[in-house]
Amino acid sequence: MCYAIPGKVKSIDGKEVKVDYYGEEKSAVNELKNLEVGDFVYAQGGYVIEKVSPVEAQNVLETWKDLFFELKGVDAATSKVDIGALADSDTKKILQKALDGSVFTDSEALSLLGLEGGQNSELLYQTANHLRQKYHDNSCCVHGIVEISNICGQGCLYCGISTHNKSVVRYRMSKDEILAAVDKAVVTHGFKSLVLQSGEGAYEVDELADIVRTIKEKYSLLICISFGEIGVEALTRLYEAGARAILMRFESSNEALYAQVCPGCDLKNRISELEAAYKIGYLIMTGSLIGIPGQTGQDIVNDIKLASKLNAEMMSFGPFIAHTQTPLKDIPSVNEEAMFKVLSLARIMAPKQAKILVTTAFETISHNAREKGLKAGASSVMLNVTPLAYRKLYSLYPNRAHEDETIFKQIDDTVKLLMKLGRAPTDLSVK
Ligand code: SAM
pLDDT tens-digit series, residues 281-301: 999 999 999 999 999 999 999
pLDDT tens-digit series, residues 315-334: 999 999 999 999 999 999 88
What single-letter amino acid sits at 253? Answer: S
Strand partners, 50: 42
Report CA dihedral (198, 268, 358, 120) to the nearest 10 degrees. 160
Residues with CB under 6 A from ligand 1: 158-161, 197, 199-200, 226-228, 248-249, 251, 289, 318, 320-321, 323, 361, 396-397
* pLDDT band with cut points at 50, 70 and 90 for residue 424: confident
pLDDT at 214 over 80: yes
Going by CA atoms, what residue is nearest to atom 2 of ligand 1?
228
pLDDT at 23 over 90: no
CA 341 / ligand 1 centre spacing (Å): 21
pLDDT tens-digit series, residues 113-141: 999 878 999 999 999 999 999 999 998 98
Mode of pairing for the β-strands spanning 318-319 and 222-226? unpaired
Q: What is the pLDDT of residue 431?
A: 31
pLDDT at 104 over 90: no
Q: Tell which one of 250, 396, 400 to mutate to probe ligand 1, the residue whose CB is within 8 A of the most ligand atoms.
A: 396
Terminal C-alpha separation, the chain: 21
Q: Tell which one of 146, 147, 158 to mutate to probe ligand 1, the residue whose CB is within 8 A of the most ligand atoms.
A: 158
Strand partners, 7: 41
Please say whether the beta carbons of 110 and 161 come within 8 A. no
pLDDT mean over 225-243: 98
| DSSP one-letter code for 28 | E
Q: What is the pLDDT of residue 54?
A: 95
What lies within 8 Å, CB to CB, of 62 at 6+ separation is none
Q: What is the pLDDT of residue 14?
A: 93
Number of C-beta neighbours around residue 102 at 10 A: 10
pTM: 0.95
pLDDT mean over 395-422: 94
Residue 144: closest CA among 175, 176, 189, 199:
189
pLDDT at 258 over 80: yes
How much of the chain, in percent, has pLDDT values that exceed 70? Answer: 98
Between 4 and 260, whose confidence is greater? 260
pLDDT tens-digit series, residues 31-77: 998 999 999 999 888 889 999 999 999 998 888 888 889 999 999 99
In this structure, the chain runs to a length of 431
CA 315 / ligand 1 centre spacing (Å): 14
pLDDT at 423 over 90: yes
Q: What is the pLDDT of residue 217?
A: 96
Q: What is the pLDDT of residue 83?
A: 86
CA distance 87 to 122: 9
- Helix, strand or coil, per DSSP, at residue 226: strand
pLDDT tens-digit series, residues 137-180: 998 989 999 999 999 999 999 999 999 999 999 999 999 999 99
Residue 120: closest CA among 99, 92, 98:
92
Please say whether the beta carbons of 333 and 371 come within 8 A. no
Q: What is the pLDDT of residue 370?
A: 96
Mean pLDDT of the chain: 93
Residue 171: closest CA among 218, 203, 123, 131:
203
pLDDT at 87 over 80: no
CA distance 94 to 117: 16
Backbone angle region of 383, left / alpha / beta, with phi > 0 → left and psi within -120 to 50 → alpha: beta
CA 158 / ligand 1 centre spacing (Å): 8
Q: Which atom of ligand 1 is nearest to the CA of 396?
A: 20
What lies within 8 Å, CB to CB, of 23 at 6+ separation is none
Q: What is the pLDDT of residue 335?
A: 87
Residue 208: closest CA among 235, 232, 182:
235
CA distance 68 to 394: 36
pLDDT at 4 over 90: no
Question: Which H or E run includes 109?
Answer: helix 106-113
Torsions phi, psi of 189, nearest 5? -105, -10
Q: Which atom of ligand 1 is nearest to the CA of 289?
A: 16
What lies within 8 Å, CB to CB, of 275 at 6+ separation is 310
Please say whether the beta carbons of 165 and 325 come within 8 A. yes
CA 189 / ligand 1 centre spacing (Å): 26
Please say whether the beta carbons of 385 and 144 come within 8 A. yes
- Helix, strand or coil, per DSSP, at residue 415: helix
pLDDT at 429 over 50: no
CA distance 355 to 308: 11
- Helix, strand or coil, per DSSP, at residue 144: strand
Angle between helices 118-136 and 89-100 (to 10 degrees): 0
CA contacts within 13 A on the Cβ side of 195: 25
Residue by residue, what is the 3-state secondary structure of 324-391? CCCCCCCCCCCCHHHHHHHHHHHHHHCCCCCEEEECHHHHHHCCCHHHHHHCCCCCEEEEECCCHHHH
